[in-house]
Every structure is written in C-alpha cells, then in structure tokens.
C-alpha cells in the first residue's frame, strides 16, 4: 500500500500497535517525502511559470489544509491513536511537520531549476555587466553537503598510517587477467579459489579481481626493488550477500620488499599499525596459516577492542578478533615480479576495509554500506 492509501486508514486498521511500528510508519512517510522532494528538485522546468506550478502541486499534495497528506495523518493517525501510543505519534508527527517546512513554496521555488528564456538570459548578463547587481548582501542558497562514505573514511585512515611510514599508494585494474590474479601469485590451477563458484569470470582468461594482490606483481614489474606500497581497492567474489559477505568489497594490501626484510619487520609494522588505528592498549597475535603467495603465512588477530580481551559477543568470548592475513612473500612470487629472491625478501599483508569499518563503527551488517540509505550514511 502506498503512503496515500495508508494515510486514509487508522493505526489500528494498519495493524500498528507499538512504538516501533509508529517509528517505522513515520520513517516511511519521511522517506517518501524526501524521495519526492529530491525528484522534484532534480527537475528543470521549462519556464518560471511551470516551476511555480510544479512546486505548488507538490506543496499542496503534502501541506494543503484540506486533504493534504499531513492533514490526513493528523486526522487518522494522531487524533484517533490509542492513549498509550499518543505521545509517540505526537512526537513523530511534530518532527514530520518540522521537516515539512522544506515543502513551503518559498523554499521549494529556490531549489527547483528552470530554463531561462534566451532573451531574459541575455538581459541578465547585460545587467551584470552594467550597473544593477541586485542586493549582494542577501545570503546565498544553501545546498545540503554530503560527506565521505564510512568505508572511504576508514580507507583514508589506514592509508594515512602507512604513508607516514614511507609507503606509497599504488592501484591497478579491477578487471584482471587470470595470470596476474592467480598464476603469477603461485595459485595453482587446482586451487579451489579459481573455481567459478568463487570467482567472477569475464571469459576464461579474464576475471573481476578477487583480491588486490595482482597489483603486487604489477608494481614489482614497474618499480623493481626496494618497494614499499599499499594497495587499496575494490575486489569481487561470487558470494551471496549476507551480514558478512557482499559480492564487492574493499581490501588494502601492503607490500614491503628490500634486502634483509624479515618476519620481525612484518610483526613490528603490523603491531604498530594496530596500535595506531585501535589504540595503544591493543595487542596483536600471529598464528600460522597458509596462502599460496606467502611462505611462511600467518593470520593476525588483535585483542578485542570491545572487551579488552575479557570475552564478549563480538569476539565470540575468545578475547581476540582476526583481522588480516600476512606472510613473507613467496620466492616464486618475487621471481614472477622480476625480483631476485636471492638478493631481496619481502612481506605482505591483506585486510578487509569494510570489516575494519564495521569494527570501528560497531556495525553488524556489511550490506548497510552499499544500500545507499541516507538514514544510515548520514550518521558518519
């Protein structure tokens, strides 16, 4: 049922019997209002007259004293609401009325564009060249500003730490060859990640990259050693979306290659990074693991930032949260990148930026990042 249908019914008829239901219902009204307003503001009317007519129709739809949507909400939801719900309906209705001031004609008319007829435009330009500039002391029109997406904010924060350590940022193509995505990274044909259940193939030789690691090889070919880079970017996997998976996600990869690089450098750098990002009290734990492109390989966990290691819901009572994979770059991978493993060694790590943002902002569903819901995004 559309909002127009719902405002003609009472709360009881709509089956709304508690505060959560009231909140959801008013949330829907607000979203509809915003959507309609945005699409109106995005229009360019063919004349000033048409603009005024569009604005007036929209204003009347919501605010007309007789039969406007707000009047009907007042009538059918507020006045007839059960006593226990009245305070919450009243509060939501007042907030709605407040928001609806943006629908008054004088506000709307400023925001809806219209085409200026050529003659008038020329006259206007002449006016500016001439004497009458109008009242320059009037305030300008204010447009709502957006902000950086939480995942971008997290990415920048991580980049910042590594830039201070002397790393530089490198990127590469999201549509990648099977060679760079798998073969050059020592991932054999038989490895399960190469299956088309896991990887999105464009054709037999081209994939949507499943990790940012192919850029390791590209950067080694381009710059040789020594090399200190981080590689942020989007990756793609054949995953069904749920609270912890989306088919597109963000990674940051780190790579350091130099003479005499050891596992101690890796541990030191990642421990420093974790403390910079999550606070001085955070401890790190390294556990052996396996990746085809590193040897030895490890999983890094940090002491739980929510309970300090005592055990809680987020760390599943373990006191630790696994945050990334890492290891010493496999000699074959160095060789594939044109670097002599007898002379140079290196370490690498990879982490999920979305997952870090979920930890940082205490978000329990990764899908929220990509649904473009302003109610979620405007909290950042």
Contact positions toward Zn ion, by CB under 5 A?
A: 304, 306-307, 312, 315
Nearest approach in angstroms of CB 304 to Zn ion is 3
What tokens were used for 278? 């999550």
Inter-residue contact 275 to 269 (CB < 8 Å): no
Nearer CB in complex with Zn ion: 296/309: 309
What tokens were used for 90? 């009243």
Nearest approach in angstroms of CB 224 to Zn ion is 43
Nearest approach in angstroms of CB 143 to Zn ion is 42
Nearer CB in complex with Zn ion: 220/315: 315
List beta partners, residue 144: none
Nearer CB in complex with Zn ion: 219/315: 315
Nearest approach in angstroms of CB 318 to Zn ion is 8
Q: Please give the residue whose beta carbon sits closest to Zn ion in the complex.
A: 304
Alpha helices in 101-207 (DSSP H): 105-111, 118-129, 150-164, 178-181
304: burial class by Cβ within 10 Å (0-12, 13-18, 19+)? Answer: buried
Inter-residue contact 36 to 112 (CB < 8 Å): no
Nearest approach in angstroms of CB 282 to Zn ion is 12
Which residue in 12, 17, 45, 14 sits closest to 29, CA to CA?
14
CA torsion, ordered 197, 202, 245, 325, to nearest 10 deg: 90
Nearer CB in complex with Zn ion: 347/356: 356
Alpha helices in 130-228 (DSSP H): 150-164, 178-181, 214-223
Nearer CB in complex with Zn ion: 20/243: 243
Nearer CB in complex with Zn ion: 185/321: 321
Nearest approach in angstroms of CB 267 to Zn ion is 22
């Amino acid at each position: 049922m559309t909002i127009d249908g719902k405002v003609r019914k009472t709360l009881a008829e709509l089956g709304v019997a508690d505060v959560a239901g009231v909140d959801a219902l008013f949330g829907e009204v607000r979203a509809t209002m915003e959507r309609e307003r945005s699409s109106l503001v995005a229009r360019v009317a063919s004349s000033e007259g048409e603009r005024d007519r569009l604005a007036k129709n929209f204003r009347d739809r919501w605010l007309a004293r007789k039969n406007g949507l707000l009047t009907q909400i007042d009538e059918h939801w507020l006045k007839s609401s059960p006593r226990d719900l009245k305070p919450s309906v009243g509060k939501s209705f007042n907030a709605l009325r407040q928001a609806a001031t943006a629908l008054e004609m004088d506000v709307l008319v400023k925001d809806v564009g219209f085409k200026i007829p050529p003659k008038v435009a020329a006259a206007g330009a002449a006016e500016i060249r001439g004497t009458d500039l109008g009242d320059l002391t009037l305030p300008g029109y204010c447009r709502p500003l957006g902000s950086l997406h939480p995942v971008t904010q997290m990415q920048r924060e991580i980049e910042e730490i590594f830039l201070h350590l002397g790393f530089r940022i490198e990127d590469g193509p999201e549509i990648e060859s099977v060679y760079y995505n798998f073969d050059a990274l020592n991932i054999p044909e038989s490895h399960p990640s190469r299956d088309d259940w896991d990887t999105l193939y464009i054709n037999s030789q081209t994939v949507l990259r499943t990790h940012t690691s192919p850029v390791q090889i590209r950067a080694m070919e381009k710059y040789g050693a020594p090399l200190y880079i981080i590689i942020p970017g989007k990756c793609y996997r054949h995953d069904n979306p749920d609270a912890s998976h989306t088919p597109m996600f963000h990674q940051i990869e780190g790579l350091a290659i130099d003479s005499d690089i050891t596992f101690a450098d890796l541990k030191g750098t990642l421990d420093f990074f974790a403390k910079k990002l999550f606070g001085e009290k955070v401890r790190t734990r390294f556990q052996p693991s396996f990746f085809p492109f590193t040897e030895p390989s490890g999983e890094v966990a940090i002491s739980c930032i929510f309970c300090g290691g005592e055990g809680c819901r987020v760390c599943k009572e373990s006191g630790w949260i696994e945050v990334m994979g890492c290891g010493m770059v496999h000699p074959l991978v160095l060789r594939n990148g044109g670097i002599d493993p007898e002379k140079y060694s290196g370490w690498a790590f990879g982490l999920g930026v979305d997952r870090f943002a979920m930890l940082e902002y205490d978000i329990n569903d990764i899908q929220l990042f990509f649904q473009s819901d302003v109610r979620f995004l405007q909290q950042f």
